Amino acid sequence: MDEQEALRSATARREQVAQARAVTDHADEHAVTLESMLAILRSDRLDDRAARTMAIDVAASALVGLRMVTDQQRSSVLEPVVGAFARLRNDLRPLVRFGDLDVQFVEPPVTGRALPGEVAHAARVIVRNAVLAFVDAGESRRVRIQWDCDGLNLLIGIRDDGKGELTAHDDSLRPIAERVSALDGELAVSSTTGWGSSLEIRLPLDPPADPEPLVGAVSLSAREREVLRLVASGARNRDIAKHLGISDNTVKFHVSNLLRKAGARTRAELAGLALAR
């Protein structure tokens, strides 16, 4: 492969990674919008006309936001931490107002360092995913969300009052763990039975640069190709392990190697690249 062809291949792979990441981010945003609309339409505090009006407003606002937001803007614009947190509150407002979940927001300090766009966006996605996980589980009635900034990191605390059975290996936390890992952050989960669970997240304000994509064809073993095919189909680690007759830890090892070889940050990006190829 000559230098020019290698450059074209690298550029194409970068575009595929960016596209897969954008699809994942938009899916998260749409999930919050749909949950908010359902909460409005199911609310006993609104009559049919008012519910329709509110649902239309939420949908229209989401459409406007979708047209305005691009990956380039997210990665190049700095957001004041207070402003980024306000956007999060605005995203969750319909769900909080008309849903069954009581969400308490603890404001970050106004003197906090401005957040790189990618970090601010990831932080909102993480919180939205956590809230949606609590809504889907149907066990939590109250959630507390707190942001803080120590100058080097954005610190996120999320606590619920559910059964207290959540662990770091829970499938519902997989999108959050992948997002945190992509930014070289840390995720800690602690639970107390009958009292709820707590997520403590640290996101560096200076995220690592995007990994360089591999140039040319990616060399995969027969087992890696099998795992990749199942990841692309949406299968979870436990399902992959059962299908292939291997352990969960072995699956995790293969997925980690695939992410590294493909230059992808998350399983969603890896699946997007596999499908694109």
pLDDT in tens, 146-172: 999 888 899 999 999 988 888 888 888
Asked whether residue 156 is assigned to any structural domain, the reply reads yes
Are 232 and 274 in contact by the 8 Å Cβ rule? The answer is yes
Asked whether residue 267 is assigned to any structural domain, the reply reads yes
Asked whether residue 216 is assigned to any structural domain, the reply reads no
Asked whether residue 69 is assigned to any structural domain, the reply reads yes
For residues 94 and 55, state if they share a domain. yes
For residues 131 and 36, state if they share a domain. yes
For residues 156 and 41, state if they share a domain. yes
pLDDT (0 to 100) of residue 202: 94
Number of domains making up the chain: 2
Six-digit token pair at 219?
Answer: 């060399």
For residues 88 and 10, state if they share a domain. yes
**Of the residues 178, 204, 230, the one at which a domain ends:** 204
Backbone φ, ψ for residue 149 (5° rounding): -140, 125
Asked whether residue 157 is assigned to any structural domain, the reply reads yes
112: pLDDT strictly greater than 80: no
**Cβ within 8 Å of residue 65, ≥6 positions away:** 29
CA gap 125, 193 in Å, rounded: 27
229: pLDDT strictly greater than 50: yes
For residues 8 and 111, state if they share a domain. yes
Asked whether residue 214 is assigned to any structural domain, the reply reads no
Which amino acid would we find at residue 249? N
Domain that holds residue 13: 3-204
User: What Rg, from alpha-carbon coordinates, does the chain have?
Assistant: 20
User: Collapsing DSSP states into helix, strand and coil, what is residue 3?
Assistant: helix
Asked whether residue 242 is assigned to any structural domain, the reply reads yes
Asked whether residue 111 is assigned to any structural domain, the reply reads yes
pLDDT (0 to 100) of residue 201: 95
Task: Give the whole-number percent of the chain exceeding pLDDT 70.
Answer: 77
pLDDT (0 to 100) of residue 42: 80
pLDDT (0 to 100) of residue 211: 42
pLDDT band at 26 (very low <50, low <70, confident <90, very high): low
Task: Give the whole-number percent of the chain exceeding pLDDT 90.
Answer: 13
Q: Is the pTM of this model over 0.95?
A: no
pLDDT tens digits, 64-102: 455 445 444 444 578 889 989 998 998 888 777 777 788
Six-digit token pair at 239?
Answer: 């399902």
Higher pLDDT among residues 123 and 69, named by residue = 123
Among the ranges given (61-75, 111-125, 249-263), the one the predictor scored with the smallest mean pLDDT: 61-75
Q: Which CATH number does the domain housing residue 162 bear?
A: 3.30.565.10
Of the candidates 182, 115, 192, 193, the residue with the CA atom closest to the CA atom of residue 155:
115
Six-digit token pair at 90?
Answer: 């605005």
Q: Tell the residue number behind the tokens 């990191």, with chain if given.
A: 153
For residues 183 and 76, state if they share a domain. yes
Q: Are strands 196-204 and 186-192 parallel, antiparallel or unpaired?
A: antiparallel
